[in-house]
Amino acid sequence: MGKVLIFGTNLASYRAAANLARAGHKVVLLNRGEFIWDKFTQMQWQQPRDIINGYSKGFLKNVMMATGNIEVYHNSSLLSVDGQPGNFKVRFKTRLPTVDEFKCIGCDICLEKCNAKHMPRPLGPGIYFVENPEECLDVCPVKAIQIPKEEEKEITVDAVILAPEYEPEEISKYVGNVENVISFRDFAFMFRGKGVDKRFLKRKDGKYPHRLGFFIPGGFENFLGSSEEYVIVFREAIFMKEMDPELEVHIFVKELRLYGHNQMKLYDEAREKGINVHIIDNVSISEENGEVKFNDVALDLLVVMPGQKVPEDWKDIIKASGIEEENGFARTKPFSLETTRDGVFAIGEFVKPVSSTEAVYHGTAIVPEVEKYLKPPEKPQIPNFEFVRDDFNPRVGLFICGCAAKNLNIDVDVDYISTKDFLCVRGEEIIKEIKENNLNRVVFAACSPAVRGSMLEMLAMKAGIHPSYVELVQLREYVSRVGGDDRKANALVKAAIAKARKDYFVEVPVTATKKGVAIIGGGLAGLLAARYINGRVGVYIITDEFDEPHDITGVKEGTLNMSEEELKEWYENLKREALQKSRHIKGKVESIEGTLGNFRIKVGDEVIEAGVIIIATGGEITEKGNHIAGRFEGNTLHSQIGSILAKRRDKKVTYEFMKSYSLLDLSPPEGERGEGEPIGYVKAREYNKEIASLLGLRIDEDGFFYFAQEPLHNVERMGIQFFLAEEPFGGVFVAGLAHRPMSIEEEMEEAGFAAQSAIFLMRDIESPAGKLVSTTNPRRCAGCGICVDACFSGARFIDTEDKIAKVNPQLCLGCGACANVCPSGAAVLVAYRADHMFEMLKEVVK
Amino acid sequence: MSEKEFEPVIVGFFCNWCTSAAADLAGTSRLHYPANIRPIRVMCSSTVDPVYLIRALQEGADATILGGCHPGDCHYISGNYKARRRVVIVKTVLKSLGFDEDRVLLEWISGSEGPKFARVMNEYTEYIKKKGPSDFKYVDSLGGE
């Protein structure tokens, strides 16, 4: 087990902390604010309405509670990092917040008895501040109130990860001080929490803007920016047009950085919807008679999406951690997240301007990178519970939390009823009462599951009640806090009791996962993934030949200025290391059977058994084409590769859609608009089609794979991978040029993500599905296959022998779509059967 | 009944990932909305069988509301699109049978939209109050109850 210090809480940091903790390492997280989220991540600045913001924090909290491996220090600043990898002495300053947000249950007692304030936040009790903590220590039932004291600490860790947060540029720097010009964040806040609606779109003077403009300054005059700004602005512009088709919407950009997979579709969609996209070279913004004049377009309101700035305090971080800088960012070793100082890593927006997807990749790929300095983790202890099983004689116990049922009068008919002031601190009593009264069903009438749900479920498990026999009623958030009355409270509690009586025991089946990763194709990303896995599980690389390294290297100095020889040497090293610990199998894939955990891949005479497949078929870099950027017939070329090549080969480029990218913004290649000589573009392999049909995956019109279950609507926007990464992806990952044109730097990120996710999927624990798995009633199933089509995660299949639908519980995520479409009522989501629902409905309408 | 103001019962099927989270946030933010809403948490809006919506009306609810994630944000990728199609069908069926199709409402409310949740609940309850009790539940009582 190793110990890692993570400084800062950007989007990549949340992910890294959780991933390292789940891999069994100890994590010390230094948070720079009073609470987690106090310092905004890139996503919170750029798109405060996106759901990912809620998930990032909730996710960290869940992992923290489940593993106990994360330690958080608030209000901290880094003082120094001394020593060597495996033995770093890190000194930092920290101050306790007045309320420990991880202990707080949101009971509001401090609001009544102390001088306290509350700030609501999604997925949790919200944040509390106590002005007079000294006098309030005994007020809090869970002892979450603490006295803030500045202190200096020194700890010893094996490795250090730096992940300080993003800051946006002031918009006045781009546009000066003009009336009716606002930043994107202020614009997004108009709708925040309230929904996109015409009523909320207003100028400062209260008028509705009939002409709305969006301006992205990234790319003009060395302003830094990532692709994220473009994705968010295009998506938002489309929302605006959908909200009010009469609205005149303009977008002003210098270039289109929609280089993620299928993101150019956003541009097409915007134009189809009648949004005016202006690709311009010069900007003049002025004010005339209460309207904004952007070049010669008159607007009522202009929204500016600022790019990234390099915050002043990054200098101190760079100094304290003893690393080198590059244009204000952390300098890293070529194709690595490690800084030039061994054992000190940088992730997220501290490396270069990144999109949220890239940040999520960083947070995952960092695990194998850091692990070379860490001792292997101990095997986790899986607690062994014995459960009562009785589907026919329900004895339901109702436990009401006094904090949730404030002023409510619950009067129900049930086998056992107990009201306690704070359920979550009275665990022992609850377990005793459950056992003494021979209960086999438990209903907790308490607060939101985001606060104490998993903890109450754990209590029941300790008392021998299986989670499938536990129901939770959110009395506090659904009734007492929102002006609910006794009638509503009783209806909800009665419904839960009715459901509990109908509950039946659901055994969570565990399918054995074959420990092995099959990498299909000889792309660079495959070798990178093999090296990341490093022999921890068996690796099979199935390909006839390996791609030569292409020279779309990356935007960081160390990679961009790498010579051909250095690149070749790096590649040879990579290939040697990757092949040392994996098996190279020559041949083409003939057939693939099975699903996640049990793939059987036939190559020639051999059948390879693997749990996870990584597709890395690579791509061809050709010099034939009409244009280096944007799109031309039959190819969605992107773009950033043109600028990297131009820079590397010192060529002057012509561009239509784009010329620079990420750190290249600071010294873009020389260029002008118009037709030009081709420099290079990526062509997808024909082989992709074969693999896609074998695995039932989708490929886009240019031949690139969709990443797992990308929905049709440009999923790669935003960090949707953030929560998709929690799901098994069907056990198939796509990395590198098989996915989209990208630089080696990006291939490294994507390969690391695939490798670490593969290892995570092969850990020794039960299926993630839990009680929400779906099953088939064999007596009713006709084998029609409708449920197979309805299942988005590929968990359902028609058994070839029995000719009925079966479920792979490792893939099932419990959405219940199959139960809904099944014409014969054979497919059921076990915790939400129709009779459950009917019983609940009967009670709930009373 | 005649003197007292009509208090409808509205059954809400809220998806676990978005609308339930929004209901939670409305609770944490202490945003009051009418107690007529009876929330039922479901995993995904696509879990809600059209039968559940109709059964709720039949059991005596005056209206039902189905809450899911915004299009493109579904945790299960496409569940909310499925729900949208089903609600259209339910509405069509209700209308062709001579019932009021406005008693089934589909709303997209994301996890951070606590205020929107409260607003929608307020507006819809007001609307149903104006409409009066549902005539759907009497269909059952014609049978003898």
Tell which residue, A670, A676, A664, has the closest CA to residue A629: A676
Residues in chain A: 846
Could you report the per-residue pLDDT of A691-731, keeping only the tens digit for each? 999 988 888 877 888 876 554 444 444 444 444 455 556 78
Could you report the per-residue pLDDT of A59-87, keeping only the tens digit for each? 788 788 778 899 999 999 999 999 999 99
Residues sharing a CB contact under 8 Å with residue A63, sequence separation 6 or more, in sequence order: A17, A18, A21, A22, A69, A70
**What is the token pair recorded at A772?**
């929400």
Question: Residue A633's pLDDT band (boundaries 50, 70, 90)?
Answer: very low
Q: Is the pLDDT of residue B9 over 90?
A: yes
Within A158-210, strands assigned E span: 159-162, 167-168, 181-183
A345 has which bridge partners? A161, A338
A293 has which bridge partners? A286, A298
Distances (CA, A) of A363 to A524, A613, A719, A757: 21, 21, 12, 11
Q: Is the pLDDT of residue A379 over 90?
A: no
A399 has which bridge partners? A418, A444
Which residue carries 């006045």 as its tokens? Answer: A172
A805-807 vs A796-798, strand pairing mode: antiparallel
A154-174 burial, b at 16+ Cβ within 10 Å, e below that, comes to eeebbbbbbbbbbbbbebeeb
Q: What is the mean pLDDT of residues A170-185?
A: 90
- Burial of A16 from C-beta contacts in 10 A (0-12 / 13-18 / 19+): buried
Residue of B nearest to A58 (CA): B21
Contact A51 B112 (CB under 8 A): yes
Of B35, B59, B111, nearest to A122 by CB-CB distance is: B111
Answer whether A115's CB lies under 8 Å from A132's CB.
Answer: yes
CB contact, 8 Å: A814 with chain B?
yes
- Helix H or strand E encompassing A829: strand A827-829
Mean confidence (pLDDT) of chain A: 86
Within A318-474, strands assigned E span: 325-326, 329-330, 344-346, 396-401, 416-420, 441-446, 470-474
> Residue type for A550, please?
H
Q: Which of A499, A820, A833, A838 to mutate to test the interface with B (most CBs of B within 10 A)?
A: A820
Query: Does any domain span residue B70?
Result: yes
- Helix H or strand E encompassing A356: helix A356-371
Beginning with the edge strand found earlier in the chain, give each strand of the sheet holding A441-446 in spatial order. Answer: A416-420, A396-401, A441-446, A470-474
Q: Which of B7, B10, B47, B107 to mutate to test the interface with A (most CBs of A within 10 A)?
A: B47
Q: Report phi then psi at A339, rounded to 5.
A: -75, 180
Residue of A nearest to B61 (CA): A845
**What is the token pair recorded at A481?**
């806090």
Within A96-240, strands assigned E span: 116-119, 127-130, 150-157, 159-162, 167-168, 181-183, 211-215
B49-54, long-range: CB < 8 A, 24+ apart? B49/A819, B49/A820, B49/A834, B49/A837, B49/B86, B50/B86, B50/B87, B50/B89, B50/B90, B50/B93, B51/A834, B52/A834, B52/A837, B52/A841, B52/B13, B53/B13, B53/B87, B53/B90, B53/B104, B54/B90, B54/B93, B54/B94
Of A53, A193, A792, nearest to B116 by CB-CB distance is: A193
Angle at A343 between CA A339 and CA A344, to 5 degrees: 45
Which parts of A71-226 fold into alpha helices (H)? Answer: 109-113, 133-136, 172-175, 184-191
CB contact, 8 Å: A56 with chain B?
no
Most confident of A677-681, A833-837, B117-121: B117-121
Helix (H, G, I), strand (E, B) or coil at A9: coil
Q: What is the C-alpha to C-alpha distance for residues B94 and B140, in angstroms, rounded to an integer?
A: 15
pLDDT at A568: 94
Tell which residue, A712, A840, A648, has the closest CA to residue A261: A712
Answer whether A37's CB lies under 8 Å from A121's CB.
Answer: yes
Query: Does any domain span residue B3?
Result: no
- Helix H or strand E encompassing A839: helix A834-844
Q: How many domains does chain B have?
A: 1
CB contact, 8 Å: A793 with chain B?
yes
pLDDT at A639: 58
Query: Does any domain span residue B1?
Result: no
Query: Does any domain span residue B63?
Result: yes
Considering chain A, what percentage of its residues have pLDDT values greater than 70? 91
Query: Does any domain span residue B140?
Result: no
Query: Does any domain span residue B41?
Result: yes
CB contacts of B61 in chain A (<8 Å) are 841, 844-845
Can you tell me the ipTM of this complex?
A: 0.93
Q: What is the mean pLDDT of residues A196-203?
A: 91
What structural domains does chain A harbor?
3-96+149-167+310-371 (3.50.50.60), 170-306 (3.50.50.60), 396-502 (3.40.50), 516-620+683-761 (3.50.50.60), 624-679 (no CATH), 770-844 (3.30.70.20)
pLDDT at A691: 92
Answer whether B44's CB lies under 8 Å from B84's CB.
Answer: no
Query: Does any domain span residue B107?
Result: yes
Interface A:B, Cβ pairs < 8 A: 180
Query: Does any domain span residue B6?
Result: no
Q: Find the domain containing B40 and state its range.
A: 31-134
By mean pLDDT, which of A98-107, A242-251, A316-325, A714-723 is the weakest? Answer: A714-723
